[in-house]
């Protein structure tokens, strides 16, 4: 990705040259030295004998591989020039002519002779300044993303239904493209686009169906962030649509949720085993209304990071989530998959037909006509999360996770707790890496607000076993298998002799860049 950014900057340098006087043609050529390297490589390739005709020294056209090698030499030369430009920008020198980086810049411009004069000319200082500005504006941009293809199977469905549901198979894709930039030392910004149904907040998967139609691709993140980046005591601010600033597991929050609003944090760093203490606050509106009170999530999290020894680290986190006017979530459920705004289509979540077409497993209240009017509980969640990592070897870290949530709602007396425990061995960073993991969760019916938690298991009133295995096939390419075996705890069909574990398996190929 770094090389792509450098090539992109080189293109910007070429495009930055000013248009010459009227009637003059501007002929932009490759850098002389890079072209010479490429010609040398091409000549050496042309001089190689071919094995097909059996004649030693017979000339042949360069192969694709040889041409790529020539291009690599050109790119390597351009990288050296870009590095010199980067040093110039970082130094912020007001006299570019007097710096070595400026000399390199002049070398770049001098290698582009004009067609009218027939002689090499260096660009004027004004153009050099424009080149520097281009680097300042675009050089810090980073492109990243991922592409995931998934084969998914469902077996033994139906939970406690008298008749099991039919088996299901489907293919899905997830595509995400991110653009992040640094304004200066303290400010950065980010944008991300993702696939998935517009009204589903907990999944960016797109099922391969709908008669080869085009698939949605929409804005998933857009934020501006400030960080003092001081050594000991500092502060952070972020606003927009962004990845949650609080630590979490999927028992409370699905990994695909990107919240909206604002978040603030203050942190204190030390050189003791308690490396950092951080207090995070957030104000996240989820439903803005013009004539009534808005639905807003207020909360905070106290984070602590520990370095127990050279090989053992840990973190402990205490959170509080105060869902104001959570009944608006229930009123928003049931939106059409094709609807862009105004509701929630929870098609990705596994609700086990708990409340008919509504994608929630929480207990709900209904009026005399049977229409839902609100949740039985309100949601004031207290959440403790801890992680312990032992760096057994450089390639096989061992991580243990424990997460507990309690709904402090006074409306209900039961079904208000949940816990999540897991262990993971290994990682997927370099080619040949392996990862093994297992997680168990038990989520009571009103312990969390559904539909914002994990979409791939029965969301609440459930227990689930989740093993996973992953292998790093190549740098950036991962093969992964996940099993999701969830069961309803309190049956809906009281006299049913069945209480099935839904067997859901996911086979993924993931490419990250």
- Quick one: DSSP state of residue 97? G
Looking at residue 137, its pLDDT comes to 66
State whether residue 328 is helix, strand or coil.
helix
Cβ atoms within 10 Å, residue 170: 13
pTM of the model: 0.75
Q: Give residue 439's pLDDT.
A: 98
CA distance 223 to 192: 10
Q: What's the CATH number for 149-170+228-512?
A: 2.40.160
What's the CA gap between 394 and 162, in Å, rounded? 51
CA distance 489 to 461: 6
Residues 6+ apart with CB under 8 A from 13: 108, 131, 134
**Could you give the count of Cα atoms lying within 13 Å of 184 in the half-sphere of its Cβ?**
3
Could you tell me where the beta strands, DSSP code E, fall in 341-461?
A: 364-366, 372-375, 380-391, 397-407, 417-426, 434-443
Instruction: Give the number of other Cβ atoms within 10 Å of residue 217's Cβ.
Output: 15
Residue 457: both structure tokens together: 């298991």
Domain ranges of the chain: 2-138, 149-170+228-512
Give Cα separations from 420 to 59, 79, 155, 399, 405 (angstroms): 68, 48, 24, 14, 9
Q: Cβ distance 42 to 70 under 8 Å?
A: yes
Helix (H), strand (E) at residue 302: strand 295-307
Nearest to 139 by CA among 84, 219, 71: 84
The two tokens of residue 139 are 């050089």
CB 71 within 8 A of CB 38: yes
Per the CB < 8 A criterion, the answer to whether 434 and 326 are in contact is no
Tokens (6 digits) for 480? 């992964």
So what's the pLDDT on residue 352?
59
Between β-strands 187-195 and 168-182, what pairing exists: parallel, antiparallel or unpaired? antiparallel
Instruction: Say what the alpha-carbon torsion angle 74, 75, 80, 82 is, to the nearest 10 degrees.
Output: 120
Residues 6+ apart with CB under 8 A from 226: 186, 187, 236, 237, 238
Q: What is the CA radius of gyration of the chain?
A: 29
Kindly report the number of other CB atoms within 10 A of residue 474's CB atom.
11
**Cβ distance 131 to 139 under 8 Å?**
no
C-alpha span between 159 and 285 (Å, rounded): 35
Here the tokens at position 298 are: 């207020």
pLDDT tens, the chain, 513 aa long? 545 445 445 544 444 444 333 344 434 344 444 444 444 444 444 444 444 444 444 445 666 667 667 777 777 777 777 777 766 655 554 444 444 334 444 444 444 444 444 444 555 777 777 767 766 666 678 999 999 999 999 999 988 888 888 999 999 999 999 999 998 999 999 999 999 988 889 999 999 999 999 999 999 999 999 999 999 999 999 999 999 999 999 999 999 999 999 999 999 999 999 999 999 999 999 999 998 999 999 999 999 999 999 999 999 999 999 999 999 998 888 766 666 666 777 654 555 556 655 668 899 999 998 888 999 999 999 999 999 999 999 999 999 999 999 999 999 999 999 999 999 999 999 999 999 999 999 999 999 999 899 999 999 999 999 999 999 999 999 999 999 999 999 988 888 899 999 999 999 999 999
Q: Which of 494, 507, 501 is nearest to 465 (CA)?
A: 501
- Distance, CA of 305 to CA of 247 (rounded, Å): 12
The beta strand positions in 106-209, using DSSP E, are 142-155, 168-182, 187-195, 206-207
pLDDT at 53: 41
Q: Supply the DSSP string of 437-485, one letter for each residue.
A: EEEEEEE-TTSS-TTSS-TTSB-SSEEEEEEEEEEEEETTEEEEEEEEE
Residues 6 or more apart in contact with residue 3 via CB below 8 angstroms: 75, 79
The candidate with the shortest Cα–Cα distance to 28, out of 107, 112, 94, 92, is: 112
Distance CA 84, CA 232 (A): 33
Q: For residue 46, give Cα distances in angstroms to 34, 42, 49, 53, 60.
A: 18, 6, 8, 15, 6
Cβ-based neighbour number of residue 26 at 10 Å: 12
Distance between CA atoms of 110 and 247, rounded to whole angstroms? 52
Contact 320, 381 (CB under 8 A): yes
């Amino acid at each position: 990705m770094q090389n792509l950014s450098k090539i992109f900057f080189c293109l910007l340098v070429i495009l930055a040259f000013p248009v010459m006087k009227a009637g003059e043609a501007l002929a932009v050529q490759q850098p002389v030295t890079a072209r010479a390297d490429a010609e040398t490589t091409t000549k050496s390739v042309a001089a190689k004998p071919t094995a097909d005709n059996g004649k030693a020294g017979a000339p042949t056209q360069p192969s694709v591989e040889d041409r790529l090698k020539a291009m690599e030499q050109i790119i390597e030369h351009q990288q050296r020039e870009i590095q010199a430009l980067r040093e110039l920008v970082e130094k912020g020198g007001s006299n570019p002519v007097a710096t070595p980086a400026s000399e390199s810049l002049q070398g770049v411009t001098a290698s582009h002779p004009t067609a009218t004069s027939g002689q090499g000319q260096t660009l004027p200082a004004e153009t050099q300044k424009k080149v520097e500005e281009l680097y300042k504006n675009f050089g810090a941009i980073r492109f990243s993303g991922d592409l995931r293809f998934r084969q998914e199977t469902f077996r033994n469905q139906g939970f406690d239904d008298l008749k099991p549901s039919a088996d299901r198979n489907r293919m899905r894709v997830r595509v995400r493209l991110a653009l992040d930039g640094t304004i200066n030392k303290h400010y950065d910004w980010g944008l991300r686009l993702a696939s998935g149904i517009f009204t589903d907040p907990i999944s960016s998967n797109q099922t391969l169906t709908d008669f080869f139609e085009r698939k949605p691709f929409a804005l998933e993140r857009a934020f501006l962030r400030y960080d003092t980046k001081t050594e000991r005591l500092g502060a952070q601010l972020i606003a927009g649509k962004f990845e949650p600033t609080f630590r979490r597991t999927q028992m409370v929050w699905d990994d695909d949720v990107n919240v909206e609003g604002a978040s603030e944090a203050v942190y204190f760093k030390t050189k003791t085993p308690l490396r950092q203490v951080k207090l995070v606050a957030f104000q996240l509106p989820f439903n803005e209304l013009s004539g009534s009170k808005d639905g807003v999530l207020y909360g905070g999290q106290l984070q602590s990071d520990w370095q127990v020894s050279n090989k053992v680290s840990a973190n402990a986190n205490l959170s509080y989530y105060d869902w104001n006017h959570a009944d608006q979530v229930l009123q928003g459920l049931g939106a059409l998959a094709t609807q862009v705004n105004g509701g929630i289509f929870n098609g990705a979540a596994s609700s086990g037909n708990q409340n008919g077409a509504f994608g929630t497993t929480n207990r709900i209240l209904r009026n005399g006509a049977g229409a839902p009017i609100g949740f039985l509980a309100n949601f004031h969640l207290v959440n403790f999360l801890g992680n312990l990592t032992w760096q057994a070897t450089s390639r096989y870290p061992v991580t243990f996770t424990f997460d507990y949530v309690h709904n402090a709602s006074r409306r209900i007396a039961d079904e208000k707790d949940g816990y999540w425990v897991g262990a993971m061995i290994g990682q997927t960073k370099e080619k040949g890496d392996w990862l093994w993991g297992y997680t168990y969760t038990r989520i009571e019916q009103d312990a969390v607000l559904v539909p914002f938690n994990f979409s791939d298991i029965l969301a609440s009133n459930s227990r689930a076993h989740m093993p996973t295995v992953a292998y790093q096939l190549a740098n950036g390419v991962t093969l992964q298998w996940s099993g999701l075996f969830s069961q309803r705890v309190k049956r809906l069909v009281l006299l049913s002799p069945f209480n099935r574990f839904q067997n859901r398996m996911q086979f993924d190929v993931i490419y990250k860049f």
